[in-house]
């Protein structure tokens, strides 16, 4: 449950019931990283020792105070006061009121506001990306890249604001026309996970806004500072445009806030990113009230390399997909299928590549590999390695916790398991790559699809026939189907999401905007007659 973004877990971040910073010993406050000179840049984001975690046009928060920690050394960064249920109720009301104003603004004008949000993020991209590295633990280039992804989706949304809408359809009745009308759903709730604390909110926020919706965000408790910092940037743009800040509301919190959002009929669409286990509970709660949910859940992603593959592409692709973000992407490659004739060579090359990975402080621009997000993640990593051994696997690289401060584990390669091994069918949010041998195309396509999730997949081959079979109805059953590139690193222009236990939701590009709107078919009679469809006479 450690990777749940605070929906049903009792507590994800360590907290206290103290009523304010004045009750905390000065010695403790001085240990916060935000008070140390090398982290003075945090204050450029408007962060303080204790931060209000509720925004609905004004900042507040009367809930539990939590401390967030740096995964690289497990030292406390700063504190955030979360939302109480009274805060949540007030915020939903204000967000609904703000929506009534926002929905009346023409879509291209809404796009202009989103453009300004993108520009404001550009100005803070380095410092905000650094906060992502500090609080989440991903390397600096990925932290900055995540903010860039929010910027990119803002740019995309600006153009989309002049393009959304439905077709005008011919009617079988003279003097009639059919119009497909799209309107905003209203209030979009967004619950995000720790691993992409900026980008996933950005995908939802930018598109939902140009569609005319208000947003209510609850980020993961362990990345609450990021949620606060991003909201401060967005809120400034709204305030500068004399718009209600509650258009983009924030309620930092845990189980009570997440459950309230799932059950609240005033939340017209709930976008949830997190584990399959919790996503199922979210879907049931939302469906019980006949609401809409957009689910981005787990992935047990595979790379398949055939004997005709270019190994100079296979090895770096597998390395990035398996080790990037310390194996904590939903698109991380967890299974690698190698045709028998190339198995040993690829494994040997991978071992050499793994040995050259630069490990260290994620804020160091030369580092390629940082820590896991929490101590619980380290425990899950060790449990998965032991289970793989019990099921007959051999650890050919890594498998241990690193002897250094923080939540560092060795990137790990396991060979010798059967493709149906239970542990290989279990998504572990850690840098463990299970490597298998296969004989032919037919069996490996089946193996790719035999796991419950269906997010991302990739093959490496030069055979055009095989490529199009892979893309076809008997090929990969995933939402992301790649050829000669890694499983991770999707661009914002395409719809992002997966099938089966991944949830079926789609975010970001293509026609994902439709998820944030409701569709009406409108038949307009501009004649003086009243013919009925299908030639029916009712006289």
Our answer to whether residue 507 is catalytic in this structure is no
Buried b (16+ CB within 10 A) or exposed e, 286-303: beeeebbbbbbbbbbbbb
Cα angle for residues 444, 448, 450 (degrees, 5° grid): 110
With 0-12 / 13-18 / 19 or more C-beta atoms within 10 angstroms meaning exposed / middle / buried, residue 144 is buried
Query: What contacts 45, CB < 8 A, 6 or more positions away?
Result: 124, 127, 128, 131, 229, 232, 233
Phi/psi of residue 500, nearest 5 degrees = 55, -130
Cα angle for residues 432, 334, 392 (degrees, 5° grid): 65
In the block, residue with structure tokens 């463990």 = 432
What is 241-284 written as a DSSP string? Answer: TT--GGGEEEE--SHHHHHHHHH-TT--EEEEES-HHHHHHHHH
Catalytic residue, candidates 296, 410, 427, 507? 296
Query: What contacts 83, CB < 8 A, 6 or more positions away?
Result: 53, 54, 61, 62, 63, 91, 251, 252, 253, 257
* Encoded tokens for 346: 């690829």
With 0-12 / 13-18 / 19 or more C-beta atoms within 10 angstroms meaning exposed / middle / buried, residue 182 is middle
Q: Is the four-CA dihedral 104, 106, 111, 113 of positive or negative sign?
A: negative
| Residues facing 214 on adjacent strands | 187
Count CA atoms within 13 Å of residue 49 on its CB side: 15
CA distances from 384 to 338, 422, 433 (A): 22, 10, 11
Give the three-state DSSP class for 80: strand
Q: Which of 430, 60, 434, 78 is nearest to 249 (CA)?
A: 60
Q: What is the spatial distance between Cα 280 and Cα 500, in angstroms, rounded to a whole number?
A: 11
CB 403 within 8 A of CB 359: no
Q: CB neighbours (10 Å) of residue 113?
A: 22
* Encoded tokens for 262: 């799932």
| Residues facing 530 on adjacent strands | none
Which residues are catalytic, by number? 296
């Amino acid at each position: 449950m450690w990777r749940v973004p605070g929906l049903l877990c009792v507590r994800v971040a360590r907290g206290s019931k103290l009523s304010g910073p004045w009750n905390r010993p000065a010695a403790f406050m001085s240990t916060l990283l935000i008070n140390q000179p090398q982290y003075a840049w945090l204050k450029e984001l408007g962060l303080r020792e204790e931060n209000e975690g509720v925004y609905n046009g004004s900042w507040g928060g009367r809930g539990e105070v939590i401390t967030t920690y740096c995964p690289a050394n497990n030292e406390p960064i700063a504190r955030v006061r979360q939302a109480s249920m009274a805060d949540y109720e007030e915020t939903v009301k204000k967000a609904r009121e703000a929506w009534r104003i926002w929905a009346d603004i023409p879509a291209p004008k809404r796009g202009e506001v989103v453009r300004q949000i993108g520009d404001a993020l550009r100005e803070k991209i380095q410092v905000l990306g650094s906060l992502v590295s500090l609080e989440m633990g991903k390397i600096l280039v990925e932290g900055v890249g995540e903010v860039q992804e929010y910027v990119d989706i803002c740019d995309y949304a600006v153009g989309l604001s002049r393009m959304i809408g439905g077709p005008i359809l011919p009617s079988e009745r003279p003097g009639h026309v059919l119009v497909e009308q799209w309107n905003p759903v209203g209030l979009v709730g967004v619950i995000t996970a720790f691993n992409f604390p900026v980008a996933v909110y950005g995908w939802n926020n930018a598109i939902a806004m140009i569609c005319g919706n208000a947003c209510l965000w609850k980020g993961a408790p362990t990345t609450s500072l990021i949620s606060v910092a991003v909201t401060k940037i967005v809120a400034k743009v709204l305030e500068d445009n004399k718009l209600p800040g509650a258009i983009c509301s924030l309620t930092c919190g845990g189980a009570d806030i997440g459950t309230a959002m799932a059950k609240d009929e005033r939340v017209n669409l709930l976008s949830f990113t997190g584990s399959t286990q919790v996503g199922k509970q979210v879907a049931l709660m939302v469906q019980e009230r006949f609401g809409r949910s957009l689910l981005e859940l787990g992935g047990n992603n595979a790379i398949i390399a055939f004997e005709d593959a270019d190994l100079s592409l296979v090895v770096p692709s597998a390395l990035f997909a398996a080790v990037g973000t310390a194996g904590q992407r939903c698109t991380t490659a967890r299974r690698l299928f190698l045709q028998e004739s190339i198995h040993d060579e690829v494994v040997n090359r991978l071992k050499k590549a793994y040995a050259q990975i630069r490990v260290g402080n994620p804020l160091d621009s030369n580092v390629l590999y940082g820590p896991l997000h929490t101590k619980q993640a380290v425990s899950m990593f060790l449990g998965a390695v032991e289970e793989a051994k019990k099921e007959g696997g051999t650890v050919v690289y890594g498998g241990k916790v690193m002897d250094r401060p923080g939540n560092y584990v060795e990137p790990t390669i396991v060979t010798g398991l059967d493709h149906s091994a239970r542990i290989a069918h279990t998504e572990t949010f850690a840098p463990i790559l299970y490597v298998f041998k296969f004989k032919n195309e037919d069996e490996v396509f089946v193996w790719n699809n035999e796991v419950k999730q269906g997010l991302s997949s990739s093959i490496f081959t030069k055979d055009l026939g095989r490529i199009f079979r892979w893309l076809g109805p008997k090929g990969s059953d995933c939402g992301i189907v790649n050829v000669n590139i890694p499983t991770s690193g999707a661009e914002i222009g395409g719809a992002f999401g997966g099938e089966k236990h991944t949830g079926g939701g789609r975010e970001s590009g293509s026609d994902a905007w439709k998820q944030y709107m409701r569709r009406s078919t409108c038949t307009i009679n501009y004649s003086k007659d009243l013919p009925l469809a299908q030639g029916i006479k009712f006289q």
